[in-house]
Structure 1
Amino acid sequence: MAAAELVRGQNHPLPGTRITVRLSSAHPAATAVLLTDESGRLADGEGRLVHAGSPELPGVRLAADGEVAVDLGALAADVHRLQLALLLPTGRTFRDLPAPVAAVAGPDGGIASFTLTGLADESALVAVELYRRAGGWKVRAVGQGYAGGATALLADHGCPDPSALAAALTPEVSAELPTSRRSADGGQRADGGSDGAGVVAPTGAAGSPINTVHPRRGPSGPAATTPAPEVPPSAARGPVDTTHPGRPSPPPPAAGPSGPVFAPPVPPSPSSPTSATSPTSPTSAPSSVPPPIAGDAAGATMDERLYNQVWGIFEDAARSAAAYRSAVEYADHRQDQEIEALLADPRMRFGPDAELGRLQARTRRDELEGRARAVLDRDAEQLREELQVVERAMPAAMAAWGSAAWTAWQPVAERPFALRLGDLHLPENPDIRVPMLTRFPLHRGLWVDTGSGPESAGPGSAPLGSADRKAFGTGVATAVAARLLACHPPGGLLLHAVAPGAGGPGGSGDAWAPFARAGLLAGPPATSRAEVAALLESLVERVDLVQMARRAGAPDTLPPHVDPADRLLLVHDFPYGFDDRTVARLRYLADEGPAVGVHLLLVADRAESREYGPLLDPFWRGLTRLAPVEQAYLADPWVEHLWTFSPAVPRPGDPALPALLEAIARHRR
């Protein structure tokens, strides 16, 4: 099996639990393994650090030649990441060394390799990490360098006395520094810029270093760096490297009267040489970024490639915003430090000199924020262009309602690969709307939350009351159900409605009326307790029969009275009309139904179900919540930003949705 060649930020699944990792460097260097928690921090100080001379820990063995043997199955349960670091002796840096190489192998041969190019003044780095993900393990190419050496690396991961331990790990040596620039295998790759050259990596929301490079973006080349200013030991955060591979960055500014300040690294053009650029050497203008292409992500089909590409854009936007926020936080911190230094001197507390010092501190702070904003705007422009290209290529199931895919809608022959539920955006760039896509079949039911939310539907809008939220929730449920019906083959999805509540604006009737008028309901809506119970019993029976057929190895063998089409159950005004037995049936359908083609779409206010007690809490947690109006409540899995969700609904008064339902009905007939 050929080993995968990773670029900085890319991950790769590990096929087994017994892994060996070798970090190769042209100069003698110490290897260390940091056993960290989910946030990348040493849970037990240096007691979770494996290095030469340290006691062995379960699951990790460091050989004399620096090779690390790992048994992932033997690790403690609270160990979520293994970060493998390379530490040069004091006084040495990676600037004039061939690029180090990390090689990951299993019992059957090589798994992955990573060449750490683009290094400069770093003397310590985290090369790769092994981390838990979805019940398995993966390896990620990290390449996070530390100009502050082993001390900075250990401090960044929560070591209680990093200086003393770093001194023991990296003693002074007098060997001559090699001058070869070639890698150990005789070649050199342009894998990407340094993820932190010249700066100590800041910590993210959970305490782990923020990496703003997305693996899908391809090679970026080595980065030219500008040294960071001195930061007091109390400063836990610093500027973050905002390099995105393949994206042009502005050249670093010259040092001003106040000394050098943070500037993002500058990736060279893809055709430029791969040798590192000195901070003092002139840099040429980067080449223009090639135009974005729809479907340039991995995947077996175009729909899968578009789906993965959207997730790549989502991650890029999250990391770019994290870089900007981290830089602004660092600028604020440095301003506070400078003003505190002024106040510490009694002679500088008052008078013209004091005012001048405060003005200079604010000016430097604004300069840092301006540079960070310029990088954010540059990234946003590329994301905006890529989103425009991707949106034009989206199939109807993944496209916005105003897309040409809906204007020219035709019945499909297969179920959708993914479904668009809405859009996501951050306050830094509200015009960048990243589609929120979910794979189909749905692994979780959908819950349109008509309970808590913003006080209004947007700036200048009237306050929202309970009836308004229910009306908006009904509109979201109608749009989702119509999208699902349109993106299945004719007759491939049957719609059932449970609507026992009273009518009126936003009431039960509004939820299923458009489908009833078009003749798209599989039967009359269940409005009484007996009708609700009978409908749920029939769906539970279908789930049980399909599960039995699959276990028997004959998934297509069903009784004649069981239609093989998928089901969508639209439940409105929950929990009205439900007794304890029907609630239990509903929970069963939510848990077991998606695997056999029975999907749940619930419109409800969670507060109104309190009469059923805490037993319904697992039910709510198992559903995907959709806000009926624009609302910030969804966190991304990378840097945990709070994203604003906007539901995918047609514009008010748009006749496209009723026309679509009529077209679906015609093709069914």
Structure 2
Amino acid sequence: MTAELVRGQNHLLDRTRVEIRVAAGGPVVAGVMLGDAQGRLSGVEAVAHPGAPRRTGIEVPRQAAAEHRIAVDLDALPGAVHRVSVLLALPGTTGALTTFGAAAAPAVAVTGLDGTALARYTLTGLDAESAVVAVELYRRQGAWKVRAVGQGYAGGLLAMLHDQGLPQAAELAAEIEQAVGQGQARAVPAPAPVAAGRSERPVTGPAAPPTGDRPSSAPRTTSDDPAAQAPGAPTAEPTAAADAASETGAASPASPAPPAAGPVDYRHPRRRSSPAPPDPAPSPAATPSAPATVPAAADAPAQPVAGDAAGWSMEERLYNQVWGMFEDLARSVAAYRSADDFAASRLEQELDEALADPRNRLGTAADVARATAGDRHASLVMQARAALDRDLGQLVAESQVVEPALPPAFARWDSPVWHSYQAPQERPMALRLGDLHLPEVLDLRIPMLVRLPLERGLWIDSGPAALVHGGPDPEREVGRRELGSALTDGPPDEAELDRLAMETAVAIAARLLAVHPPGDFAVQVIDPAGTAAPALAPLLESGALPALPVPGAQGVASVLEGLTRRVDLVQMAVRHRAADSLPPDLDPAEQLLIVHDFPHGFDDRALTRLRYLADEGPAVGVHLLMVADRARTREYGPVLDPLWRSLLRITPVPDAHLADPWVGHAWTYEPPLAPEGSQVVRQVLGQLAAARRTT
């Protein structure tokens, strides 16, 4: 099974002859640096690059291209070589890209010679960098491992080589640029844009988010509050020229010119969709001898298939398929709303023109003008709704196929997959944080997937403000029925919202525990008032939470002090590459800190530590989950605004406050609560506890 790596993570290689495959959003230069046990290079002869593509045990491509294959024979390397670092660089002024942040995140995969993927790493978070050390293969106690590095350099290739301690860095950088310039004409051209009828989708990285910080590709918020910013998902951004053309209306250089007039096609260019309606049949008067034709069976819409997307594994294909459905629904509804707005504006314009003449304002002429304009408006709306219903029908059918095939990390709590749950051996690539839907189709839920590990914390808003941005009444009633009797008749009061918020936090914590291998994830809770005990019962019963949190300011200080120490130690170990020197009492598991009833029990020192954990914790495995009333925290002034802005706001009840990264619809978010009366959370945590005891 392919290991999905994140920055700093390593994976054991079970073979010594491998290929390193690179896929980028544009032409890049690939090379390899051979270092000793401390990572030092012996000289320019320790670098394989387009000007010198072959070193002992290494062969790299001779030119810049969007895809590369690097051959590595670890057994053939000199005995002094302990590190094989793969570098990627943009080809200077001759390249189409100037920074890695201007295109899709590059992906690096270590495969066997037969193409079997062993480990994969997507280099997310790159922005102004033009050179990066992507991965390194290193020797440890006689075995070879691969580590995801992702160290970028805004100064380009020269800055990277300088950082490796090469005194001839400038000469080597110039030699590489010269070799790339000479081989540029032979570079493999980028593939032509995929036709609209094909079913391939781009392999996305995180997420982006969706687009704010990518990957992630979760939605972004549209609340007027600048703090209500969600991550840019799971990274489902268009990366090919055809995608950009579909958004801007411009034609792709590799595609035929569009017709001079006609409707705009908002459908995703890489997803299979229903065929366009056939052209109207010619009139018999025009072609009296033309026989009537019957559409071929091949023109019928293709049946949806779970995993019908690009990816290295079924999990990644399902992830990309869910994001493709998300984008398709966003664009289909955008087309419908645009057509509806056009019909309304045209109706108003026609009525104004018809009634501009005073002679048409009386008698039957005014009635005829109004009726004619109304008929045109109704016809346009019916055509737009028919197109939307066609797309929605296909998406609903696809959802009915995809939802049962989702693994536990992507599935709802009521999915049958939880009945056969077994503790995983490795962490998944993403987690379901809830569902999203639009008012045009209330019965179609799109899973809200965020990449793991979490790149930012969560804020579950337990105050009445959680209902301010709510959707229409029918939408809210659907969400109320889905939550069962957890919501009483009428709007929930403050105590009920607080209870639902803490139950949502426990449901998310249980999901995170369930999708990680036993012992790789732990939960800590801060509850100064001691009111969260009923909601914490599933965690206490399973042993995931050893004991109830210590109340008062003392409990707040002790937990924050321990986690701050952990972040400091791990940061130093990562910075100095001394992970083996961590103290034995340090828990290596990732930590989720649930803070309830914030800011009760917090002084200035505790608040400073909490903000430090929110900023620095995710990079070293400490994640924050706040359960608090945003309105109440405003009493403390702007000091809490940075904390609020750094977290993704979600709500314990259905609420329309999230936006997609393509057209900005206000999507209704529904929390991942288990069905009323279900024991699935307790059962899953119990099985996880049993697996933890056996391991």
TM-score by length of 2: 0.61
Whole-Å separation in 2 of the counterparts to 1:333 and 1:301: 48
Could you list the per-position Cα deviations for residues 65-111 of structure 1 after superposition, in whole angstroms to 9, with x for gaps in the alignment?
xxxxxxxx9xxxxxxxxxxxxxxxxxxxxxxxxxxxxxxx9788355
Counterpart residue type for residue 198 of structure 1: A
CA deviation map 1:434-471 (0-9, x unaligned): 00000010001011111212279637831221112111
Q: Specify whether residues 470 and 404 from structure 1 end up closer, same or farther in structure 2 by C-alpha distance, changes over 3 A only.
A: same
Match of 1:550 in 2: 574
Matched, 1:290 2:329: no
Q: 1:534 Cα deviation (Å)?
A: 1.2
Q: Is the 8 A contact 1:145 1:195 kept in 2?
A: no
Shift of residue 666, structure 1, vs aligned partner:
2.5
Letter in 2 for 1:488: H
- In the other structure, the counterpart of 2:609 is 585
Equivalents in 2 of 1:639, 1:617: separation in Å?
A: 27
CA distance in 2, matches of 1:597, 1:637: 27
Offset at 1:198?
1.2
| In 1, Cα distance between equivalents of 2:331 and 2:23 | 31
Which of 474, 482, 488 pairs up with 2:516? 488
Map residues 384-395 of structure 1 onto 2, 5 A cutoff: 384-395=396-407
In the alignment, which residue of structure 2 is the partner of 1:361?
373
Q: State the alpha-carbon separation in 1 of the partners of residues 301 and 263 from structure 2.
A: 29
Cα 1:251–1:346, aligned 2, differ >3 Å: closer, same or farther? farther
Quote the sequence identity (%).
47
Q: 1:617 to 1:145 in 2, by over 3 A?
A: closer
- Alignment partners' CA distance in 1, 2:92 and 2:428: 35
Aligned to 1:471: 499
Residues in 2 aligned to 1:19 and 1:654: alpha-carbon distance in whole angstroms: 61
For the structure 1 residues 19 and 198, does the alpha-carbon distance in structure 2 shift closer, same or farther, using more than 3 Å as the test? farther
Aligned-pair CA distance for 1:418:
0.7
- 2:669 aligns with one of 642, 645, 653: 645
The aligned counterpart of 1:377 is 389
Q: For residues 306 and 212 of structure 2, what CA distance do their matches in structure 1 show?
A: 28
Is 1:420 the equivalent of 2:432? yes
Q: CA 1:537–1:666 in structure 2 vs 1: closer, same or farther (change >3 Å)?
A: same
Partner residue of 1:248 out of 249, 256, 275: 275
Counterpart of 1:400 (choices 412, 425, 437) is 412
> 1:634 aligned to 2:658?
yes
Question: What amino acid maps onto 1:548 in structure 2?
Answer: M
Higher relative contact order, structure no. (Cα contacts within 8 Å, ≥ 6 residues apart): 2
Contact 1:334/1:365 (<8 A) preserved: yes
Shift of 1:302: 1.8
Q: Are residue 454 (structure 1) and residue 473 (structure 2) matched? A: no
Q: Which amino acid aligns with 1:384?
A: V
Answer yes or no: is the 8 Å Cα contact 1:450–1:605 preserved in 2. Answer: yes
1:519 deviates by 2.1
Distance in 2 between residues matched to 1:480 and 1:600, nearest whole Å: 12
Preserved contact between residue 458 and residue 630 of structure 1 (Cα < 8 Å): no
Per-residue deviation, residues 594-617 of structure 1 (Å, max 9, x unmatched): 111111111111111123320211
Partner of 1:516: 540
Q: Distance in 2 between matches of 1:326 and 1:577?
A: 50
Shift of 1:336: 1.2
What residue number does 1:604 align with?
Answer: 628
Matches for 1:170-181 after TM superposition, within 5 Å: none
Change (3 A) 1:564 1:556: farther
Q: Secondary structure at the residue paired with 1:436?
A: strand
**What CA deviation, in whole Å up to 9, does each residue of 1:211-238 have, x standing for no partner?**
6232431xxxxxxxxxxxxxxxxxxxxx
- Hey, what's the Cα distance between the residues in 2 that align with 1:474 and 1:145? 43
Alignment match, 1:526: 550
Q: 1:593 and 1:615 mapped to 2: Cα distance? A: 19
Change in Cα spacing, 1:133 to 1:626, as seen in structure 2 (3 Å) is closer
**Contact 2:350–2:373 (CA<8 Å) still a contact in 1?**
yes
CA distance in 1, matches of 2:374, 2:554: 70
Residue by residue over 1:17-39, the C-alpha shift from the partner in whole angstroms, topping out at 9 and shown as x without a partner, is 74678xxxxxxxxxxxxxxxxxx
CA pair 116-439 structure 1, distance change in 2 beyond 3 A: closer
Which residue is equivalent to 2:86? none
SS at match of 2:453: coil
Distance 1:318 1:2, change over 3 A: closer
Residue in structure 1 matching 2:261, options 188, 191, 198 = 198
The alpha-carbon distance between structure 1 residues 657 and 372, as it changes in their structure 2 partners (threshold 3 A), is: same
Match of 1:141 in 2: 242
How far apart, CA to CA, are the structure 2 residues paired with 1:650 and 1:502? 24
Q: Distance in 2 between matches of 1:433 and 1:384?
A: 9
Question: Against the structure 1 CA distance between its residues 300 and 114, is the aligned structure 2 distance closer, same or farther, given a 3 Å change threshold?
Answer: closer
Aligned to 2:551, the other structure's residue is in SS state coil
How far has the Cα of 1:645 moved from its partner? 0.6
1:426 Cα offset (Å)? 0.7
The whole-number CA distance in structure 2 between the counterparts of 1:145 and 1:421 is: 30
Aligned length: 466
Does the CA contact (< 8 Å) of 2:194 and 2:269 recur in 1? no
Task: Pick from 182, 187, 190 the counterpart of residue 112 of structure 1.
Answer: 190
Q: Distance in 2 between matches of 1:569 and 1:436?
A: 22
1:51-450 alignment runs, 5 A limit: 109=187, 112=190, 114=192, 140-141=241-242, 198-199=261-262, 212-217=266-271, 246-252=273-279, 284=295, 287-450=299-462
Query: Corresponding residue for 1:27?
Result: none
1:565 Cα shift?
1.1
Note closer, same or farther for the CA distance 1:644–1:523 as it changes in structure 2 (3 Å cut).
same
- Structure 1 counterpart SS, 2:632: helix
Task: Check 1:449–1:368 CA distance in 2 against 1; reply closer, same or farther (3 A cut).
Answer: same
Q: Specify the SS of the correspondent of 2:560.
A: helix
CA displacement at 1:283 relative to structure 2: 9.4
1:484 partner amino acid? L
Relative to structure 1, is the Cα distance of residues 609 and 347 closer, same or farther in structure 2, using a 3 angstrom cutoff? same
Mark the CA change 1:212 to 1:200 in structure 2 (over 3 Å): closer, same or farther: closer
Q: Which runs of 5+ in 1 are unaligned?
A: 6-11, 22-72, 74-104, 119-131, 147-152, 158-182, 202-210, 218-244, 257-280
Equivalent residue number for residue 117 of structure 2: none
Distance change (3 Å), C-alpha of 1:212 and 1:540: same
C-alpha distance in structure 1 between counterparts of 2:360 and 2:93, whole Å: 62
Q: Which amino acid aligns with 2:574?
A: R
Q: Is the 8 A contact 1:116 1:143 kept in 2?
A: no
Do the aligned partners of residues 133 and 587 (structure 1) sit closer, same or farther apart at CA in structure 2, a change above 3 Å counting?
Answer: closer
Assess if the C-alpha contact under 8 Å between 1:216 and 1:297 holds in 2: no
Asked whether the equivalents of residues 18 and 106 of structure 1 are also in contact (C-alpha less than 8 Å), the reply is no
Aligned partners of 1:301, 1:516: CA distance in 2, in Å? Answer: 35
Deviates most, 634-643 or 512-521: 512-521
Amino acid at match of 2:631: A
Give the counterpart letter for 1:512 in structure 2: L
- CA-CA distance at 1:305 after TM superposition: 1.6
Aligned amino acid, residue 630 of structure 1: P
- Residues in 2 aligned to 1:291 and 1:411: alpha-carbon distance in whole angstroms: 33
Cα distance between partner residues in 1 of 2:238 and 2:333: 28
Task: Tell me the CA shift for residue 368 of structure 1.
Answer: 0.9
Q: 1:490 to 1:114 in 2, by over 3 A?
A: closer
Which ranges of structure 2 fall in alignment gaps of 5 or more residues?
1-21, 27-65, 68-88, 97-153, 155-182, 197-210, 215-236, 284-291, 481-488
Q: What root-mean-square deviation, in Å, do the aligned CA atoms of Structure 1 and Structure 2 show?
A: 3.7
Matches of 2:401 and 2:355 in 1, distance apart?
53
* d(CA) in 1 for partners of 2:92, 2:370: 56
